[in-house]
Structure 1
């Protein structure tokens, strides 16, 4: 809880990217409020990888340590709530939360991530982030050389198969229905010993989230230790759109090289603006956004 209502910067989203930005701004002596509802998108993932000094650690442990370090900077405050409304004001922005509290700031950073739209196939959600994976750079080493499947179709499936073949040669491509691959793509995949299965999927057999078999609607099944899939997603927070922030063709927030959106004073960092979803990338974009916001505040206030 905070009695203060006006800040130089409001950060919406207090996971890896938001906290990284908050640290950069706190070290820049900025008055910052972090509004967070406490639902990070990687909460189901048991271990985080490919983030130097924290390889193999639980995401929740990294997050807790990060917040503990950011709290050290006394100009940074936290408010546990959901931001539900936003509007421009004469000198910046106003943010209203679910509890009815209103805060104002000169700048806003949306570090709100995205929400994965998981298939409703039985067993999928149980395995998501544990043995059904999205990123080989985050999790591929742990399932290297194992029996692996990709659930995808078309151009996405072809490119995904090429990528995953670096980590295992025991690889199947499940198109979950009739393949939309081109004849040339099918020929190339077969040359690389990647089997294509067009049967529709009925369920995913697992034990405590660890996949055992893909079960098809025709009654057949195939044993696997890991599955890769890129689900559709949507923005976790609709407020940037209500403020006029533009999205690209992928549904991600458009930002420039300074993490600025098309709306003056609004920045974005983390998964909501990049397809490269990882803890390391979230931290990097958040840290850079914090520095960029501080630079803009300096320019706003410096007397020429």
Structure 2
């Protein structure tokens, strides 16, 4: 039998649980559907998240879920949401476990999927010695030999940032040709520019000792920063007809100041709805979405 809720939150990581908490505290019936594959599951620890620094992502989620379920109007189901559609003024969501639920509002906290460059040894080290964000992981590799692997033209900005954590080599991969002004800025930051492509990551995974270049040379590198291409982790936003915007690395959901998408009644928070992926940003966006969804139940759309 289909169960009806005030709000269904799809995605049970930092953004989704933060959204659900606001609704549970407003004594609204809220269901969180969690497929159990958060984007940060590859990282051994989460850093830079106020009050949670150094904890594993799994521990943060477990504790937050336990706190949410202390509220009697909150439910969490560990299952993947497969379809979402609007029927007779409400949203109906069907799940991989065969269940179906409906709600007056939806919050999509479905996250993004990272597509790493097809480079031998990269995927096995993702989240450990192959990293995406110096603010999240730079402190833990400080003063080691660091690399930045270009995946898009804006890689220059990452190459400029990383030297604050250690000596840096920028591997342009034939993707970026720095201008004279950019080269001067990088040299002032003591960044070594390497034009020969990286063809292999070396060392005993998940650690690394260096990278092999196309010309046969080996460069000693202890950690490599990579900005992967991204894709929506779930097809639900497209099913519902939510508008997307192209970003430097992938498309993200368009939302207003209250995190409402282009589809009335559908809100979105977290990595799926921003170019600025970060645990704290995701949680804050979830709070905004939860409050806005609650207000829309009272004041209308």
2:254 & 2:175 partners in 1: Cα distance?
34
| 1:247 aligns to 2:244 (yes or no) | yes
2:228: which partner in 1?
231
1:212: which partner in 2?
209
2:298 & 2:208 partners in 1: Cα distance?
52
1:268 & 1:68 partners in 2: Cα distance?
23
Give 1:163's match in structure 2, choosing from 136, 141, 161.
Answer: 161
Structure 2 SS opposite 1:196: strand
CA displacement at 1:121 relative to structure 2: 1.2
Which consecutive residues of structure 1, in runs of 5 or more, have no partner in the other structure?
none
1:272: which partner in 2?
272
| 1:260 aligns to 2:260 (yes or no) | yes
1:274 & 1:291 partners in 2: Cα distance?
18
For the Cα contact (< 8 Å) 1:154–1:180, is it kept in 2? Answer: no
Cα RMSD, aligned residues only: 1.7
CA displacement at 1:186 relative to structure 2: 2.2
Map of 1:68-217 to 2, 5 A cutoff?
A: 68-152=66-150, 155-168=153-166, 170-177=167-174, 179-217=176-214
1:287: which partner in 2?
287
2:255 & 2:152 partners in 1: Cα distance?
29
1:79 & 1:36 partners in 2: Cα distance?
6
Structure 1 SS opposite 2:285: helix
Length, aligned pairs only: 298
Give 1:23's match in structure 2, choosing from 11, 14, 21.
Answer: 21
CA displacement at 1:153 relative to structure 2: 5.8
2:297 & 2:176 partners in 1: Cα distance?
53
2:115 & 2:32 partners in 1: Cα distance?
26
2:297: which partner in 1?
297
Which consecutive residues of structure 2, in runs of 5 or more, have no partner in the other structure?
none
For the Cα contact (< 8 Å) 1:178–1:199, is it kept in 2? Answer: no
Q: Which moved more, 1:25-34 or 1:213-222?
A: 213-222
2:278 & 2:224 partners in 1: Cα distance?
18
**1:233-271, Cα deviation, whole Å (9 max, x unpaired):** 100011111211111121010011101111100000011
For the Cα contact (< 8 Å) 1:246–1:253, is it kept in 2? Answer: yes
Q: Which moved more, 1:263-272 or 1:49-58?
A: 49-58
With normalisation by structure 2, the TM-score equals: 0.94
CA displacement at 1:72 relative to structure 2: 0.5
CA displacement at 1:176 relative to structure 2: 1.9
With normalisation by structure 1, the TM-score equals: 0.93
| 1:55 aligns to 2:36 (yes or no) | no
1:36: which partner in 2?
34
